[in-house]
Structure 1
Amino acid sequence: MPKLSSILLVDDDPITNFLNQRLLDEMALTEKLLVALNGKEAIALIQENSESATGCPALILLDVNMPVMNGFDFLSAYEQLAVACPQPSVIIMLTTSLHPRDVQRVETLNIAGFLNKPLTKEKVTNILQEHFGTTTAE
């Protein structure tokens, strides 16, 4: 399978971002891995990178609870974006909270999935199989 155009990690925890970045690098899924510490930074990265063919993230891994702009607010802002992406991003929300209120709210959103942290190779493989029709980029 060809590598994904780009992947966007959105999480306010630098350690989580580091570990997820390392996992995705080891799996060799993309040449372009973008990292944002909140939803506002993520929106800015998407806008900045949407002009190039590899700029629109094929996959967005989005934390739910973040300062400045949380995952839910990001999704609202993302839907309003006027960027020319060849196809919509696959958005997977990641959380440490499976609070029934959050789970219920997520079920009403236009996202591809909801996973409990931590991100693992198995979880990424399942995302690739379900949404991109493959298990690895190699």
Structure 2
Amino acid sequence: MSTEEPAKFETVMIIDDNMIDLYIASRMITQNNFGNKVLLHTTAEEAIKYLQHNQDTISELPQIIFVDIYMPLMSGFEFLEAFDKLPDSLKNYTKVYVISSTIDNEDIDRSSNNKNVVSFHVKPITKEFLDRIFNKM
């Protein structure tokens, strides 16, 4: 008889315009019991609208957000600027991680120095990375 552990987090959001990266990240999250519910957004605008719409309903908010830097229309950095304007209650509840394939040190520094970003991680999301996040909480 096997008893499955409950997911480490109730809701996780992934923001990435690359469908393959979205799929890989969501599978990694669900297969490793990291998130019970995974919200997938292909644009940062969609994600901000979702957060704004649900800002007063904690149960609908993600505890973790993984956001890519390079996306059309609204970049990950622009997402972070919009995220910073959200209520403190939401920002204190939700932890943001920048996930990117960039090797540009300027982008990495810019991400790492953003007060709303917990850390920067090079794609893809791995089980070890998810374990590190959980163990730091």
Q: Name the TM tier (shorter chain).
A: 0.7 to 0.9
Q: Given the alignment of the two structures, is residue 106 of structure 1 paired with residue 127 of structure 2, yes or no?
A: no
Offset from partner CA, 1:24-82 (integer Å, 9 cap, x none): 11122333211111211110121233343321211000101111111100000001124
**What is the letter of the counterpart of residue 126 of structure 1?**
R
Partner of 2:17: 12
**What is the letter of the counterpart of residue 42 of structure 1?**
A
Q: Given the alignment of the two structures, is residue 79 of structure 1 paired with residue 111 of structure 2, yes or no?
A: no
Offset from partner CA, 1:82-121 (integer Å, 9 cap, x none): 4853833111101111212212222321110000111111
Gaps of 5+ in 2: 1-5
Q: Given the alignment of the two structures, is residue 117 of structure 1 paired with residue 123 of structure 2, yes or no?
A: yes
The count of residues paired between Structure 1 and Structure 2 equals: 131
Distance in 2, matches of 1:101 and 1:47, equals 29
Q: What is the TM-score with the length of structure 1 in the denominator?
A: 0.84
The answer as to whether partners of 1:5 and 1:55 remain within 8 angstroms in 2 is no
Distance in 2, matches of 1:85 and 1:102, equals 25
Which of the pair is proportionally richer in strand? Answer: 2
- Percent identical among aligned pairs is 25
Q: RMSD between aligned alpha carbons?
A: 2.0
Distance in 1, matches of 2:107 and 2:91, equals 30
Q: Secondary structure at the match of 1:112?
A: strand
Distance in 2, matches of 1:128 and 1:3, equals 7
Distance in 1, matches of 2:91 and 2:68, equals 24
